[in-house]
Amino acid sequence: MRAEARKRPVAAGQAPTIGELLDRQGLLAYVLLLPGLLILILFIGYPFVTSLWLAVTDQSVSTSVARFIGLDNFTDELRSQIFLQTVRNTFVYTGVTVVFKLVLGIGLAVLMNQSFRLKNLARAALLLPWIVPTALSAIAWLWLFDATFSVFNWAIVHSGLADRGINWLGEGSWAMTSIIIANIWRGTPFFAITILAGLQTVERELLDAAAVDGASSWQRFWRITLPLVRPVLLIVLLFSTIWTISDFQLVYVLTRGGPANSTHLFGTLAYDVAVRAGQLSEGAAISLYMFPVLILCVVALLLYFRRSST
Amino acid sequence: MRTTGARRLVTLYLPLSLAAIVLLFPFYWMLITSLKTNRELIDLGGLPFWVFQPTLEHYQFLFGETGFMRWALNTLTISIAATAISLVCSILAGYTLARLRFRGAGAIAAAIFVTYLVPQTLLFLPLLEVVRQLGLSNTLWSMILTYPTILIPFGTWLLMGYFRSIPRELEESALIDGASRVRAMTQIVLPLAMPGILSAAIFSFTLSWNEFIYALVFTTSTDIKTIPVGVVTELVKGDVYFWGSMMAACLIASVPIAIIYNFFVARFVAGFTMGAIK
């Protein structure tokens, strides 16, 4: 044991010993990886295969033996008005919220990058929307958007802007606006705190030198700071896009996809179809429609990491 | 001097205050609502931004008449167990990927990273089937065993980075002195990686505490539910009289997470951006 261990650092040139050592390390490696991989395979890999199988059958709560029906579930969805509406909803929801979160997040990060008193307290407080359980903060929004008791409506009516309040969650486009507002509120702190970490790595000297050369603060931000934090922006954007497309909690709590399916996303529609209506296969197919977008984001991230690590 | 003060007011304090008001208002609203009497809650005439007759009746109702205590206990149990499982797996996997040379290391690291990006809404239906097949539906185990799939990938990546930052020489000198690899790991590497392990633990705990969709789909009976699912499915009845208790529940369940999180914000960001920030 002792002798083998001693060989390791000096054995670089001796082929057989290295092979032996690699074997040993290989075996140890797989033993150490086993518990984690077992859980990931059992509860991610296997369900993924199951989901592919489910999606090409007609399995529902009432069928005892599922039949293979090919891609019918997928093609049926393309003819379903509710599904097409869901695709549109997801695009609007993701597009609008990600743009707002990015712009507001950059703004908040720039603010927080200045030095002022109680900065740590401010940072902790501003993160709150992102770290508390979303299902619970969504309930606070449900109350804020209540048809009768909404405090926003109270403000609208009492300030004389309108005679009657807005039916926030009860009308299609207002309901979409409401979930977009709640999502931006929840997601902006994540953008801000991550971008802030990027800003803090931008060297002061670089900006000072540019200032000496006569660059305005706007030019310094646009030409120096922003290009330097671009990698961070890219990562935050990709993660947020994945999370927003696959969102569930906010919509489930605030609207359940309504009114008239105007706020359904892939996740909530799949839940409705599979869990509430019992059409398991159809639900699995709806979920799987998220997969191509997901793949694009994952490939982009992997390519990026590969490029940056070489 | 005076102009810089005015400038700071416009470029810093005003926008910062505005951001703080917008971001914190819902929490203020939770607090206010939880302390109002029902009569005050439905009074549309008075000023809604203040409590005129504070009461704790909603808190009494929450603890006495609902399953909240049970849900809190369930959430705590699940979070601790899932965190423990994930930590063991992440430490082992993170160490292996950072230190050992073996065939397929790169592919496994990439695969673990990809699982981190798999959203819960993609797999919750087939996972429900798997949970049924294993006879785990409607048990705490259904969540204890599935939450680690959300936690292990991030934990592994975070710890991998941490283990890499510990000089290899420390470990190798122990190996030369005759220590086994396991001893070198437990007595030299693990103590040095403690801050990273703590971060992974906090991250896992908060994520378990906040999880919603798996808990919603896997459980049906009241005494198995977690706080978020319990509050959403059992207290939201469209009845105005529950608002006070619901806001009380939201507040109580948010406080521990907010406190814990503050200890590890910086580390989370570092782990998250993984090399994008040098």
With 0-12 CB in 10 A as exposed, 13-18 as middle and 19+ as buried, what is B190?
Answer: middle
Contact A301, A235 (CB under 8 A): yes
Domains in chain A, number: 2
Residue B146's pLDDT is 95
A231 touches chain B (CB under 8 A): yes
Do A157 and A191 have their domain in common? yes
CA–CA distances in Å: residue A49 to residues A43, A55, A196, B150, B198: 11, 10, 40, 18, 34
A201 vs A87: CA distance, rounded Å: 39
A38 vs A30: CA distance, rounded Å: 11
Q: Which tokens go with A220?
A: 């310094």
Q: Which tokens go with B231?
A: 């509050």
Show the domain range for B173.
Answer: 67-273
Chain B residue nearest residue A42, CA to CA: B130
Residue A267 vs residue B277, higher pLDDT: A267
* A71 inside domain: no
Chain A 17-36, residues with CB within 8 Å of chain B CB atoms: 22, 25-26, 28-30, 32-33, 35-36
Domains in chain B, number: 1
Tell me: pLDDT of B272 over 50.
yes
In terms of residues, how long is chain A?
310
Cis bond leading into B54, ω under 30°?
A: no
CA–CA distances in Å: residue A90 to residues A179, A247, A270, B26, B140: 11, 9, 13, 25, 32
Residue A21's pLDDT is 55
* A69 inside domain: no
* B30 inside domain: no
Do A31 and A108 have their domain in common? no
**What's the CATH code of the domain at B96?**
1.10.3720.10
Do A211 and A86 have their domain in common? yes
B130–A297 CB contact, under 8 Å = no
**Inter-chain contacts counted by CB atoms under 8 A, chains A and B:** 294
Contact A85, A260 (CB under 8 A): no
**φ, ψ (nearest 5 deg) of residue A68:** -75, 125
Residue B1's pLDDT is 47
**pTM attached to this predicted model:** 0.89
B12 touches chain A (CB under 8 A): yes
Select from B26, B114, B206 the Cβ nearest to the Cβ of A140: B26
A237 touches chain B (CB under 8 A): no
Residue B162's pLDDT is 86
Regions in chain A scoring below 50 on pLDDT: 1-16, 22
* B227 inside domain: yes
Do A223 and A281 have their domain in common? yes
B258 vs A127: CA distance, rounded Å: 9
A268 vs A261: CA distance, rounded Å: 10
A241 vs A85: CA distance, rounded Å: 19
Select from B118, B129, B254 the Cβ nearest to the Cβ of A44: B118
Q: Which tokens go with B257?
A: 């997470």
A178 vs B114: CA distance, rounded Å: 32
* A269 inside domain: yes
Do A237 and A108 have their domain in common? yes
A197–B269 CB contact, under 8 Å = yes
Smallest CA-to-CA distance from B181 within A8, A17, A34, A15 is with A8
Smallest CA-to-CA distance from B209 within A191, A136, A140 is with A136
Using DSSP's 3-state secondary structure scheme, residue B247 falls into helix
B149–A39 CB contact, under 8 Å = yes
* A100 inside domain: yes
Share of chain B above pLDDT 70, in %: 91
A8 vs B25: CA distance, rounded Å: 60
Residues whose CB is less than 8 angstroms from the CB of residue A293 and which lie 6 or more positions away in sequence, other chains included: A241, A245
Contact B148, B261 (CB under 8 A): no
**What's the CATH code of the domain at A158?**
1.10.3720.10
A4 touches chain B (CB under 8 A): no
- HEC assignment per residue over A270-298: HHHHHHHCCCHHHHHHHHHCCHHHHHHHH
Average pLDDT over residues B63-80: 94
Show the domain range for A7.
Answer: 2-55
Residue B269's pLDDT is 63
A232–B24 CB contact, under 8 Å = no
Select from A46, A141, A242 the Cβ nearest to the Cβ of B119: A242
Smallest CA-to-CA distance from B124 within A48, A67, A41 is with A48
Chain A residue nearest residue B264, CA to CA: A124
With 0-12 CB in 10 A as exposed, 13-18 as middle and 19+ as buried, what is B69?
Answer: exposed
Select from A122, A148, A248 the Cβ nearest to the Cβ of B213: A248
**φ, ψ (nearest 5 deg) of residue A57:** -120, 180
Do A44 and A94 have their domain in common? no
Do A45 and A85 have their domain in common? no
Choose the mutation target among A34, A136, A196, A246 for the interface with B, i.e. most B CBs under 10 Å: A136
* A240 inside domain: yes
Residue A9's pLDDT is 46
A61 touches chain B (CB under 8 A): no
* B143 inside domain: yes
Residue A231's pLDDT is 86
pLDDT in tens, B121-167: 999 999 998 999 999 999 999 999 999 999 999 999 889 988 888 88
pLDDT in tens, B201-251: 988 999 999 999 999 999 999 999 999 999 998 887 655 558 899 999 999
pLDDT in tens, A69-104: 888 889 989 999 999 999 999 999 999 999 999 999
The sign one gets for the Cα dihedral A67, A68, A72, A76 is positive
DSSP track, A207-269: HHHHHHTT--HHHHIIIIIHHHHHHHHHHHHHHHHHHHHT--HHHHHHTTT-STTTT--HHHH
What integer best gives the mean pLDDT of chain B? 87
Q: What residues in B contact A112, CB-CB < 8 Å? A: 16
Q: What is the ipTM of this complex?
A: 0.89
Give the alpha-carbon dihedral of A159, A164, A170, A172, to 10 degrees: -80
Chain B residue nearest residue A280, CA to CA: B125
Residue A20's pLDDT is 56
Q: What residues in A contact B175, CB-CB < 8 Å? A: 5, 8
* A82 inside domain: yes
* A90 inside domain: yes
In terms of residues, how long is chain B?
278
B227 vs B215: CA distance, rounded Å: 10
Chain A 252-281, residues with CB within 8 Å of chain B CB atoms: 252-253, 266-267, 270-271, 274-275, 280
Cis bond leading into A259, ω under 30°?
A: yes
Q: Is B103 left (phi over 0), alpha (psi -120 to 50) or beta?
A: beta
Q: Is A167 left (phi over 0), alpha (psi -120 to 50) or beta?
A: beta
* B3 inside domain: no
A208 vs A204: CA distance, rounded Å: 6
Residue B278's pLDDT is 39
Residue B266's pLDDT is 61
* A113 inside domain: yes
A44 vs B115: CA distance, rounded Å: 8
A76 vs A83: CA distance, rounded Å: 9
